[in-house]
Structure 1
Amino acid sequence: MSVPNFSLQDYSSFFAAGALCCTISHGAMTPIDVVKTRIQVDPNYKGLGIVSGTRYVVAREGPAALLTGFGPTAVGYLAQGGAKFAGYEYWKKSFVQVAGDQETAVKYRTAIYLGAASVAEFFADILLTPLEATRIRLVSERGYASGLVTGFTRMAREGGVRELYAGFIPILCKQIPYAIGQFTVNEFCHELVFRSMSEEAKQNLSGAAHFSISLGSGITAGFAAAVLSHVAADTLLSQINKGHGPSGSMVYRLTALAREAGFKGLFAGLGPRMIMTAGLVSSQFLMYDEIKRMLGAPPGLEIHKEN
């Protein structure tokens, strides 16, 4: 197996493509995320779904409320998306080199996918956490601030670094399983499709066929990412960033909140999240590949098992 020697320019292209695809997709999903967060933290939304919740937001606060938190969402996922996608390319290549040869890399490809996704997401979340905390505070506490800059500065002024990173542990519990589902399931979906094709068929795939494969793989990966990340980290993250729960260590606060929410409460908003995440992940992979192509970046390293 020939391991590509990606240049700094290649990684810059990976970063730019990842940043753009994530900020565009997450920004477009802001209305769904607003409703999901309200369902998780506002008792007035208890029992509502995505459609009824959206109607309730519009009736109470007007259509503009559905764009609450757009600023920190766009900026946060611009940084996180670039770091995640470029990081995944970097760490996958690094772990393949550690494996030493093609047979070993293919044999342990699942571990390579899991490791690359986890490490890349860890570093990406360092950039995302304070902006995600700002977004959740803006969405869950109406009137907290007028936007990204005022919300971020108020949190930093009143709570400091500790407040901005209060959700770091739950966001890791949410985002790392999300990245694992996103990248690993997408890799295996592509592998399953390509394994059933001859080499000639793969070389002659039409643009529509490539699009269909990427879309189907992305949707499947999105459902997996939603389920893995939602059990219970997404709900607890929203609660932590709104300031709920007792004082004390993060583990103690998370345990107390989980006990208070109960099994059913921990899955609040899962339906809207599955819809949102399927759209997010599939659109991200489609945009990522297209933006990379436009930037002249090389394809990522593949370690799929052949027939």
Structure 2
Amino acid sequence: MAGWRFEAIGTGWEIETGAPLPDDVRAAVTAEIERFDRAWSRFRDDSDVTRLGRSGGLLASPDAAAMLDAYRELDAATAGAVNPLVADSLAALGYDAAYSLTAGDPRPAPAAWADRLTWSEDAVAAAAPALLDVGALGKGRLVDRVMQVLSGMPGDVVVDAGGDIRVRGAAVRIALEHPYDARKAIGVVELRDGALCASAVNRRAWGDGLHHVLDARTGQPVRTWAATWALAPEAMTADAIATALFFDGGPALAERWRTEWVRMTTDGRVQRSPGCPAELFTAAAAATGTGGDRTP
């Protein structure tokens, strides 16, 4: 397999293909990532989502309906814990566009977020300033978009964006990284023609117990779950479920979306969905109507 490694959207990417990517395909991948980032990154002063947060208006993007429709379902399943207007809540704790990492008072996100926005297949509009953060599923959506760009490449393809992984073709063996010790794994899974996305409280963490996974209802970081992994045909679905699993209602949504999963509590207990194909190394991984790093 030929590999291409690069940095984009604040994380490391690795794309593996059966043959080296031609220059025009690399350029198309780069352009697709830039298009998505220019639309949706709240860390860019020149992005459309930053403009929406300043003055409202229209954000044109072919990803609008897919992501915001999914957010509506995430909101309903988690009783409001997952909300795309959580950006100001993250900023209040120091995870702002300038990465100040200086925490202030917690700030709950607006509960009726869907009343503040209107969206169609290719745009979202806000009558008043509304700063969105699509981190619950946005990276997965972009992985899917990049895989579409690579659809003309023959043979096996792996797209890995900082542990959010989508595979086309032959199975890839992936380790489920222990959230408190990156040298260890709690299990492994073989991924073929599908996606695995992970989320953990040790990634994007700062201060005294602060991290990027917030309960939008309180503006506080979650405390019960340390890490989640979700398997689905598409990366956006896996990414969304990996977020939902930090809250009550996540497993039920995963079942409705036919997504398998694993999650680990902050005290080391592990749950898994009944059909999850992962091989877990923990002594007692309870099945319940319950990022990965690739192994060599």
Regarding TM over 0.5, the answer is no
Q: Which structure has greater strand proportion?
A: 2
* Greater gyration radius: 1
TM-score by length of 2: 0.32
Greater length-normalized contact order (CA 8 Å, ≥ 6 residues apart): 1
